């Protein structure tokens, strides 16, 4: 099995190193990952800047690895067009340092990379450790990621399958198990910090606070809080299908104007 690995914390992160070790047991690994941190780059791609790929020896002689100057989605696109001759069988993204549960999935470069693979028909998993500390021991990931990959490979859906996995930041003995969840619907309330440069010009740093709005017991946030590894099946059809009938009925617009 051919496995593509990417992430958004950069090819030098602890999380991707851990994921490569786990993935090696499942197949032949190629890594194409950003050469610098690309957190919160979502599904961004580089239309106006050229991209560079640099071969790296970071994961031992049996793992082909490339540092890429672009976003996580650029990495996957370059991997599929330039690095691989034919499409890989699986894409793994992460392990991200920090939660991609709830609406974080929308901002996440880790999930952007995984979703891009899925759009090309490659099954993909995004892994995140809720602990933002890049020096964390990732013991929960090491224990549970292989179990999830094994189950995922048996997932007989369409080929456009994608899951968002988040590991709780607790001791491995305290983990309650794995839970299938829906994405929690919360919001980041931003609070910009205003500064002044030496020339008197104002500038702003983005900071924010995560505000829980979704009290459901079936969400990823709820699962993680209760000691579970959360698994959310994800899709890239953003249509609010439930609104189509309403709009067709209420909007008298399906006719030519004038």
Name residue 205's beta-bridge partners. 193
Contacts of 131 (CB under 8 A, 6+ apart): 97, 98, 169
Nearer CB in complex with its own copies: 11/53? 53
**Cβ 8 to its own copies, closest distance in Å?**
11
Binding flags for its own copies, 81-120, as an x/- string (CB under 8 A): xx--------------------x-xxx----x--x---xx
Q: What is the CA radius of gyration of the chain?
A: 20
The whole-angstrom separation of Cα 15 and Cα 165 is 14
Nearer CB in complex with its own copies: 60/244? 244
**Cβ 200 to its own copies, closest distance in Å?**
13
Q: Is 199 in the site for its own copies (CB under 8 A)?
A: no
The whole-angstrom separation of Cα 127 and Cα 39 is 14
Nearer CB in complex with its own copies: 198/258? 258
Q: Is 250 in the site for its own copies (CB under 8 A)?
A: yes
The whole-angstrom separation of Cα 148 and Cα 43 is 24
Buried b (16+ CB within 10 A) or exposed e, 92-104: bbbbbbbbbbbbb
Q: Is 201 in the site for its own copies (CB under 8 A)?
A: yes
Q: H/E element holding 54?
A: strand 53-56
Stretch that binds its own copies, among 27-35, 89-97, 127-135, 233-241 (CB under 8 A): 233-241
Q: Looking at residues 157 to 196 of the shown chain, list those that interact with its own copies (rule: CB under 8 A).
A: 157, 160-162, 164, 175-183, 185, 187-188, 190-192, 194-195
Q: H/E element holding 247?
A: helix 241-250
**Cβ 94 to its own copies, closest distance in Å?**
17
Among 44, 64, 169, 225, binds its own copies (CB under 8 A): 44
Q: Is 59 in the site for its own copies (CB under 8 A)?
A: no
Nearer CB in complex with its own copies: 55/62? 55
Size of the site for its own copies (CB under 8 A): 92
Angle at 120 between CA 114 and CA 125, to 5 degrees: 25
């Amino acid at each position: 099995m051919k496995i593509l690995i990417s992430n958004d914390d950069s090819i030098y992160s602890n999380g991707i190193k851990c994921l490569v070790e786990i993935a090696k047991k499942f197949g032949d690994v190629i890594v194409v990952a950003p050469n610098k941190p690309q957190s919160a780059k979502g599904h961004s791609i580089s239309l106006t800047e050229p991209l560079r790929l640099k071969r790296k020896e970071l994961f031992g002689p049996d793992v082909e690895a490339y540092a890429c100057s672009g976003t996580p989605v650029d990495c996957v696109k370059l991997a599929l067009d330039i690095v691989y001759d034919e499409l890989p069988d699986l894409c793994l993204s992460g392990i991200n340092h920090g939660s991609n549960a709830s609406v974080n999935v929308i901002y996440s470069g880790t999930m952007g990379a995984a979703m891009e693979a899925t759009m090309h028909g490659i099954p993909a998993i995004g892994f995140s450790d809720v602990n933002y500390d890049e020096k964390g021991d990732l013991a929960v990931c090491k224990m549970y990621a292989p179990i999830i990959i094994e189950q995922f490979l048996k997932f007989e859906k369409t080929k456009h399958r994608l899951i968002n996995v988040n590991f709780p930041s607790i001791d491995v003995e305290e983990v309650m198990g794995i839970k299938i969840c829906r994405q929690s619907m919360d919001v980041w309330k931003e609070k910009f910090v205003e500064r002044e440069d030496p020339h008197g010009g104002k500038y702003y740093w983005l900071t924010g606070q995560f505000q829980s709005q979704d009290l459901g017991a079936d969400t990823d946030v709820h699962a993680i809080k209760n000691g579970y590894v959360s698994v959310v099946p994800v899709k890239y059809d953003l249509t609010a299908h439930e609104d189509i009938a309403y709009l067709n009925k209420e909007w008298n617009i399906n006719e030519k104007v004038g």
